[in-house]
Amino acid sequence: MDNNEFWWLIDKAKEKSKGNRTLQEQLLISSLTECLLDEIVEFECILREYLIEADDFKIIAAQKIIDGYVIDDPYLYFRCWLIGQGREVFMSALHDPDTLADVMDEPYQDFEELLYVATAAYEQRTGKKENDDKEDVFPRGVASARGLDYDFGSFTKGDDWTEEQLPTMFPRLWAKFNT
């Protein structure tokens, strides 16, 4: 699996689910179960690469404006949501988080379930449970062994900001979520 195939799966599930994240999760798992085991593992690795790529002070600032706060788990789940919106929304937001004003109507968006789709598909394909595997060939174990940790050891990119800067950093998001 390469990045284009990853985004094709994400975009297809997003389109078919029409905003229903539970359905989007199910569609992703279903699509991944049709893939080779190595491709399921690569999906997990690519997902983690994008989670790391989105670990940026600009994304933190956008979430701060949208939700009013940023803490570890909701920040991770927000980045999952961002990936789950598809390639175009994700890439646009990385370039200019103010573009999220075009796609968000409500705060507190998350898609934690995206973190587990590769494992669920792998379990369905093999009939084994992740915790039962002593070789750690499951997607999460392989990705961690490759150093793709999206929580621990990753470093947020970009320049930090102060709350006073937020209205001018992303004026469209500020106008939409701070009225």
Q: Is the pTM here over 0.85, yes or no?
A: yes
Contacts of 139 (CB under 8 A, 6+ apart): 40, 41, 43, 44, 45, 118, 119, 122
Tens of pLDDT, residues 85-143:
999 999 999 999 999 999 998 999 999 999 999 999 999 999 888 766 556 778 988 99
